[in-house]
Amino acid sequence: MQSFFDLNPQSLETFCREQDLPRFAADQLVDWVYDKGVAEPEAMTNLSKTARTRIAESLRFLTGSIAAHQVAGDGTQKLLISWNHATGTSAGQTECVMIPTEERRTACISSQVGCPVGCRFCASGLGGVEGNLTAGRIVEQVFRLTHLDGVGRITNLVFMGMGEPLANFAAVTSAIRTLNAPWGFGISARKITISTVGLPAAIRKLADFDLPVTLALSLHAPNDELRRQLIPWAEYATIAELLDACGEYFARTGREVTLEYLLLRRVNDRVEHAEELAQVARTLRANVNLIRYNEVKSLPFDRPTTADVHAFQEVLRKRRVNAHLRASRGRDISAACGQLRHERRD
């Protein structure tokens, strides 16, 4: 049985032809799901009864189930989705988050079940990676977030949930086409961000992608020695190699790169770390996005103090680095990557 969210209008036409349905049924399906938000064939009333029956028997719409739904005091909503194999057996769980502000609705979505990177401070990689999400299951996360109460249209999208998106390159880029397409979710490519721990070859490959997405490099340390302590995959590429790949990405796409830096108390949040980071950042056309750590149960890291965060940011700004402090959202619902899945497993 095929998954609806893995298909585009052309492949839906093929599906309809194979099911002996009229070609325009493909357009009707797209309209019902993406415009009307209806994912139950029996509710698609302008399709014939025969068409609805054949579609229900041959096409899956929602392939996961909601295992948990949390709403924070600031309006952030988080879903834990259980994915099922075609046989009905479990295929693991992933998280996605909707973060609202006055101007935007941002979806933070996952690309893998678990994560292969194993960052020491992150709950996503505890237990390793269990598998890749299909393009359809990536898109399905956005569909589910869109139709939560009070959400409406998603305006921004970040691949900053569970998994390393560039390690699932084909599915992620295929999903982005649907999320960007006018017939799909219509999210501007410039408002779609791929966050990666750093795979130089994949970064260069992304530069050939025809949609102008934003690249964010999860740096989290200003030198290779500390980065290797925090991020096991840092053994495979130095900061210099990553910056070279990011520089090539900017040169070929004209898209400024974001450097993400998670502040861990007394680990990487000292003034001397900020001085080093300023030197790194000024070698590249980039913004620095500072993120205060959300504590994870069982992991030995603490959230930095407000004073230390502002002192860190001030060092960067004095060195003429464009440094922003990301607002902490959803702390009361364990909104950081992998936290909800991790806590429900304990």
Please write the tens of the pLDDT for every residue from 266-288. 999 999 999 999 999 999 989 99
Note the pLDDT of residue 272.
Answer: 98
**Which of 16, 43, 60 is the last residue before a domain boundary?**
60
Residue 311 and residue 169 in one domain: yes
Q: Where residue 28 sits, what CATH number does that domain have? A: 1.10.150.530
Note the pLDDT of residue 33.
Answer: 98
In the chain, the amino acid numbered 189 is A
Q: Where residue 130 sits, what CATH number does that domain have? A: 3.20.20.70
Note the pLDDT of residue 329.
Answer: 72
Catalytic residue list contains 337: yes
Domain that includes residue 25, residue range: 2-60
Q: To which H or E segment does residue 85 belong? A: none
Note the pLDDT of residue 127.
Answer: 85
**Cα distance between residue 274 and residue 312, in whole Å:** 6
Residue 212 and residue 232 in one domain: yes
Please give the DSSP secondary-structure letter assigned to residue 92: E
Q: Cα–Cα distances in Å, from 346 out to 110, 245, 272, 339, 343?
A: 21, 39, 37, 11, 5
Note the pLDDT of residue 48.
Answer: 95
- pLDDT < 50: residue spans in the chain: 341-342, 346
**Of 95, 140, 260, 276, which one is the catalytic site residue?**
95
Counting the structural domains of the chain, the total is: 2
> What does residue 131 show for φ and ψ, rounded to 5 degrees?
160, 170
**Cα distance between residue 73 and residue 251, in whole Å:** 42
User: Do 243 and 277 meet the contact criterion of CB atoms below 8 Å apart?
Assistant: no
Note the pLDDT of residue 345.
Answer: 54
Return the number of other C-beta atoms located less than 10 Å from residue 238's C-beta.
16
Tokens of 86: 């075609």
**Of 16, 96, 115, 337, which one is the catalytic site residue?**
337
